[in-house]
């Protein structure tokens, strides 16, 4: 591993914490608000036959989770390279 | 490349064999029982063969597959490790019965992977040992946290394991007509061959093979059905139209006079049974029977929609206490997903932290393929009932009904005696028919039903493999090697692991043959238990350097204790906090675990500097526990 200075370590970790927070906020809003508390209201909107609230809980949220994890892996792996963190594996 | 070629060939061979059996069925009239036998023998044969080829007695290979499992394959293995008999056979049906409320399972069992991805997976890989109690022991200095971890791992995994063995028994008895108990022991043999000889290495590659069968057999029937109904083979999109037509039909059924008369008869029956239950002359056993019959009658007497509402009950979002339980259950299932040790250990097996990150993404993608389809299954089956069954003559039932009626999953009772099937005449005993009968509903030959059997078997066996290994490793590696006899040689450790694998599997099969009704219910409890015991201690251990040993011990005990207390209290003694259902018991224990770790850690001494450095190192990837050369399926991991 490249020897990171304390400052570099801190900024790497801050980036990670920020990314994690953003992803968790999206996760929370999608699951508990859109797919939960407000699903009843969203059901008024119908797309392709799907009441929207039902759709988010049944399929939309899952797709968003997949995209979120893919984004996390992509961004963190890129960040590693940017900081010269290369694993032997 | 090597792996891609092997699994590519395997997939092609699998499809070819299925087609050949189909041809044999069409031309030579191969019997249903034979088709069942061939599918079971072939698929089990493959799993056993993989188990034998990948046998090993190297510690890294045995415990973590040599840390050589590429991200995509680890994703597939996690997918089948995760998706159990319940996901495969029961989920579509549960959704058809519960409507929106059932979606807690869909969101909960997928959303947990985000927590796993950002809070735990990459860091556990960086730590790079063998088990989850290993991490607790290292991070929280000593054997007490480790032993609590062992107890929690066994508590969460064992009932779950029994449910898988039960699943195998049911599938085998339904399709081949073998006795249920024999079926359980068939499952036992399948599971043991895959785990004893090669530990995690065998389990991983078998799970990949099982995933391929599982997902193919899940998608084929409903894709064909969608093509038949809409000429578009994408059920996941097309079922939106069915949601609408089912909704209309549900209101018609609610308003129909014949349906109303049928429901009135059921309601009268329910009333009579209620009287019977009050009668002191009736014995307790008869009262229990009357109670069960009353529950069934009440269900039949319920209309699928409320008059004047806009959406049928299936699409209606619960409010008040119902919404609280929906959210609480979703939360427990999510955190439980990120707290079950048999899934967490899978992220020890990737070659690097980078691949661990990617691998969580692949895992969820492979799981997503099934869960994204499950709600479609539910709607297609409801459509088959609403438009195919309801309104047909009792003397001329649709073929899927006559085929599956003898299995006892449902029955058609002509309550009015008018010779016409009313919706209220359709009595469902097990919603499992939704997935099992779909090939027949789609008009597919029996070979596809056999394929679904093989898929269900793969789902049950793959989950059982992972659970069994987790339990055996907890006892042999964590309890015996790390606590009781740290000087034990590798040979001795592996021997003990193998003995525990066999013993656990035999006990699980034996308990399964007792067919305790409560087992199915207890499976969902595992998530709350795993969530409350592991998640707070693991997350705080990685994300908060100040978390220390007394904090973790107190937090794990408080979380696990509260959850168990509420579980037993609400299930058996009428305890109720905010009207929370037993299945969502973890909603109290999980936050309490976090708070306890925080408070107790702050009240006691901070962990020593080395430990704080240990936590720092987890945060910057450099591959702890170096990867072996990429594992191949070739004999004993010989590199090519």
- At A31-84, the pLDDT tens digits run 999 999 999 999 999 999 999 999 999 999 999 999 999 999 999 999 988 888
Per residue in B10-31, pLDDT (tens digit) is 999 999 999 999 999 999 988 8
User: B382 CB near a chain A CB, below 8 Å?
Assistant: no
| Domains in chain A, number | 1
Q: Count of CB atoms within 10 A of residue B33's CB?
A: 12
The residue range of the domain holding A37 is 20-82
In a domain, A9, yes or no: no
Strands A50-51 and A46-47, bridge-based pairing: antiparallel
Q: If we measure between CA atoms, which residue out of B106, B232, B369 comes closest to residue A49? A: B232
Q: Which residues contact B112 (CB under 8 A, 6 or more apart)?
A: B333, B334, B335, B336, B337, B338
CATH classification at residue B199: 1.20.1730.10
CA distance B557 to B604: 17
The two tokens of residue B221 are 């029937």
In a domain, A54, yes or no: yes
Closest by Cβ to A66, choosing from B115, B244, B365:
B365
Scanning B301-352, the segments in alpha helix (DSSP H) are: 321-337, 341-344
Question: Binning pLDDT at 50, 70 and 90, where does residue A88 land?
Answer: low
In a domain, B44, yes or no: yes
Asked whether the beta carbons of B121 and B347 are under 8 A apart, the reply is yes
Cβ separation A69–B361 shorter than 8 A: yes
Q: Count of CB atoms within 10 A of residue B434's CB?
A: 29
Residue B225 has a pLDDT of: 93
In a domain, B293, yes or no: no
Segment (H or E) for B527: helix B518-543
Per residue in B164-207, pLDDT (tens digit) is 888 888 888 888 888 888 888 888 888 888 888 899 999 999 99
User: A60 CB near a chain B CB, below 8 Å?
Assistant: no
Per residue in B333-344, pLDDT (tens digit) is 999 999 999 999
In a domain, B287, yes or no: no
The residue range of the domain holding B557 is 2-227+324-376+445-637
In a domain, A5, yes or no: no
Give contacts of B 358-377 with A, CB under 8 A: 358, 360-361, 364-365, 368, 371-372, 375
In a domain, B301, yes or no: no
The two tokens of residue B392 are 């047909």
In a domain, B574, yes or no: yes
Q: Is the pLDDT of residue B625 over 60?
A: no
Cβ separation A54–B315 shorter than 8 A: yes
DSSP B232-266: -S-HHHHHHHHHHHHHHHHHHHHH-HHHHHHHHHH
| Domains in chain B, number | 1
In a domain, B385, yes or no: no
Give contacts of B 305-334 with A, CB under 8 A: 311, 315-317, 319, 323, 326-327, 330-331, 334
Kindly identify which residue of chain A lies nearest to residue B117, measuring between CA atoms.
Answer: A69
Q: Count of CB atoms within 10 A of residue B399's CB?
A: 12
CA separation (Å) from B157 to B101, B348, B470, B476?
Answer: 26, 19, 8, 15
Which residues from A are below 8 Å from B626, CB to CB?
A: 88-89
In a domain, B115, yes or no: yes
In a domain, B393, yes or no: no
Mean pLDDT of B460-465: 93
CA distance B49 to B55: 10
Tell me which of B240-254, B274-288, B425-439, B443-457 is least confident: B274-288
Q: Mutate which of A9, A29, A65, A82 to test chain B, going by most B C-beta atoms within 10 A?
A: A65
The two tokens of residue B190 are 């399948």
User: B628 CB near a chain A CB, below 8 Å?
Assistant: no
CA separation (Å) from A74 to A81, A88, B361, B464?
Answer: 11, 19, 10, 32
In a domain, A12, yes or no: no
CA separation (Å) from B165 to B37, B86, B176, B460?
Answer: 18, 12, 16, 7
CA distance A81 to A79: 5
């Amino acid at each position: 591993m490249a020897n990171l200075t304390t400052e570099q370590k801190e900024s790497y970790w801050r980036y990670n914490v920020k990314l994690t927070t953003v992803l968790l906020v999206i996760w929370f809003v999608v699951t508990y608000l859109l797919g939960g508390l407000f699903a009843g209201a969203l059901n008024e909107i119908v797309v392709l036959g799907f009441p929207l609230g039902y759709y988010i809980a049944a399929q939309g949220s899952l797709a968003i989770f997949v995209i979120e994890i893919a984004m996390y892996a992509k961004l963190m792996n890129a960040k590693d390279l940017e900081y010269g963190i290369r694993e032997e594996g | 490349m090597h792996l891609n070629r092997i699994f590519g060939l395997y997939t092609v061979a699998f499809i070819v064999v299925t087609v050949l059996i189909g041809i044999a069925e069409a031309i030579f009239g191969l019997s249903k029982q034979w088709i069942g036998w061939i599918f079971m023998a072939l698929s089990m044969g493959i799993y056993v063969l993989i188990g034998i080829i990948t046998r090993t007695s190297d510690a890294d290979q045995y415990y973590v597959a040599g840390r050589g499992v590429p991200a995509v394959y680890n994703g597939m293995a996690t997918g089948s490790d995760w998706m159990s008999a319940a996901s495969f056979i029961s989920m579509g049906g549960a959704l058809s019965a519960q409507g929106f409320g059932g979606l807690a399972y869909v969101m909960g069992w997928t959303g947990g992977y985000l927590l796993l991805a950002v809070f735990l997976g990459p860091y556990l890989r960086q730590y790079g040992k063998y088990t989850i109690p290993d991490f607790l022991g290292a991070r929280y200095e000593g054997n007490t946290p480790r032993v609590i971890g062992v107890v929690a791992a066994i508590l969460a995994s064992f009932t779950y394991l029994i449910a898988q063995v039960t699943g195998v028994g049911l599938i085998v008895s339904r399709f081949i007509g073998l006795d249920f108990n024999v079926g359980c022991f068939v499952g036992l043999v399948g599971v043991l061959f895959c785990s004893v000889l090669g530990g995690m290495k065998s389990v991983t590659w078998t799970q990949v093979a099982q995933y391929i069968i599982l997902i193919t057999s899940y998608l084929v029937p409903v894709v064909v059905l969608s093509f038949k109904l809409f000429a578009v083979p994408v059920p996941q999109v097309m079922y939106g139209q069915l949601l609408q037509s089912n909704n209309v039909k549900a209101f018609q059924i609610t308003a129909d006079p014949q349906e109303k008369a049928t429901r009135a008869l059921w309601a009268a029956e329910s009333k009579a049974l209620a009287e019977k239950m009050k009668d002191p002359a009736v014995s307790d056993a008869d009262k229990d029977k009357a109670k069960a019959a009353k529950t069934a009658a009440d269900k039949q007497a319920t209309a699928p929609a409320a008059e004047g509402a806009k959406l049928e009950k299936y699409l209606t979002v619960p409010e008040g206490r119902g919404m609280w339980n929906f959210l609480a259950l979703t939360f427990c299932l999510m955190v439980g997903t990120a707290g079950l040790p048999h899934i967490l250990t899978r992220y020890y097996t990737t070659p690097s932290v980078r691949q661990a990150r990617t691998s969580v993404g692949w895992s969820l993608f492979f799981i997503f393929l099934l869960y994204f389809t499950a709600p479609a299954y539910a709607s297609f089956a409801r459509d088959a009932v609403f438009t195919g069954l309801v309104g047909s003559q009792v003397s001329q039932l649709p073929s899927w009904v006559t085929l599956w009626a003898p299995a006892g999953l449902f029955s058609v009772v002509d309550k009015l005696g008018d010779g016409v099937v009313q919706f209220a005449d359709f009595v469902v005993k097990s919603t499992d028919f939704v997935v099992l009968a779909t090939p027949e509903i789609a008009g597919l030959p029996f070979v596809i039903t056999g394929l679904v059997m093989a898929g269900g078997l793969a789902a049950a066996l793959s989950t059982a493999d992972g659970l069994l290994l987790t339990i055996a490793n907890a006892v042999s590696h964590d309890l015996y090697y790390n606590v009781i006899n740290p000087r034990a040689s590798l040979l001795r450790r592996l021997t003990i692991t193998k003995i525990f694998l066999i013993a656990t599997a035999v006990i699980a099969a034996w308990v399964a043959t007792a067919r305790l009704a409560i087992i199915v219910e207890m499976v969902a409890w595992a998530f709350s238990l795993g969530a409350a015991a592991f998640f707070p201690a693991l997350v705080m251990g990685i994300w908060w350097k100040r978390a220390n040993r007394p904090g973790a011990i107190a937090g794990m005990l408080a979380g696990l204790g509260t959850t168990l207390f509420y579980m037993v209290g609400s299930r058996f003694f009428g305890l109720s906090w905010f009207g929370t259902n037993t299945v969502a018991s973890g909603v109290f224990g999980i936050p309490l675990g976090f708070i306890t770790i925080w408070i107790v850690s702050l009240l006691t001494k901070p962990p020593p500097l080395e430990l704080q450095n240990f936590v720092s190192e987890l945060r910057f990837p450099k591959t702890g526990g170096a990867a072996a050369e990429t594992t191949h399926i070739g004999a004993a991991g010989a590199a090519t």
